[in-house]
Amino acid sequence: MTNARKPVVELAVALVGIFVAMYGLVLFNRHLLMSFSLHSRMVLMIVTQWFLVLVPGLLMLTRKDNIRDIGFRKVRVPKQIILGVLAALGLSLVLTVLPILSGFRDLVGSTSYTEAWQFIYTFFYMIVGVALAEEIVFRGYIFHKLLEIRDCRWFAIIISSVIFGISHAFSGDVLQVFMTAGLGVIFCLFREKIEDYTTLSLIITHGVYNGLIQLFVAVL
């Protein structure tokens, strides 16, 4: 296999694995998850999210890729975390708080949570489950692989964001696909434009932002 074709094939294999995992996750949540006890569900909801990383992770191990290739850095970690939290707060203000206060609560989301532990778990699940898996896959592996295919940041930003949006078609509608793709572009720009903003920062931003949606919908 030529060097030019190899990244394309690897990306195609990864995408098949990712979409199969996401479809399987939707089916599991719909048909099997509720048959487990509450504590088991809380663990399974997090662990099953990690299946998204399975195929890309195996491909990275095969190639002996470094975590730096997918945007992780070992320096100034506290700053990376702080930047992630600040970005999440900014996004929440613009995309959650203002729409709710403007009368568009239904477009933002809904929740039936009333207990403190439910919101605490939601933040943990969103960060350690959803955001960890999705950022490693979409802004990590896929973004890096697109840059190998074509050395153009905007190409990687747009295509990875479109794929990110399409991946949510299994669990959402057309509006969510477009909104998620737009959010993917914002996440990419955060990492590209903010110094010391890394994939770790993205995981924090993504998870905290998702958790704050539940919180603000409940209290505002």
Q: What local confidence, expressed as pLDDT, does residue 2 receive? A: 58
CA of 136: how far to CAs of 18, 55, 110, 156, 158, in Å? 12, 12, 27, 15, 17
- pLDDT tens-digit profile of 63-109? 888 899 999 999 999 999 999 999 999 999 999 999 999 998 888 88
> What b/e sequence results for 7-16 when a residue is b if at least 16 CB atoms lie within 10 Å of its CB, and e otherwise?
beebbeebbe
- pLDDT tens-digit profile of 183-207? 999 999 999 999 999 999 999 999 9
- Is residue 211 very low, low, confident or very high in pLDDT (cuts 50, 70, 90)? very high
Q: What local confidence, expressed as pLDDT, does residue 1 receive? A: 55
Provide the CA 55 distance to its chain's centre, in angstroms.
16
- What are the residues whose beta carbons fall under 8 Å from the beta carbon of 197, sequence distance 6 or more? 80, 83, 84, 87, 190, 191
- pLDDT tens-digit profile of 109-163? 888 888 999 999 999 999 999 999 999 999 999 999 999 999 999 999 999 999 9
CB contact at 8 A, 134 and 52: yes
Model pTM score: 0.95
Would you say how long the chain is, in residues? 220
Q: How far apart are CA 163 and CA 187, in angstroms?
A: 14
Which residue carries 């699940």 as its tokens? 125
Q: What local confidence, expressed as pLDDT, does residue 53 receive? A: 97
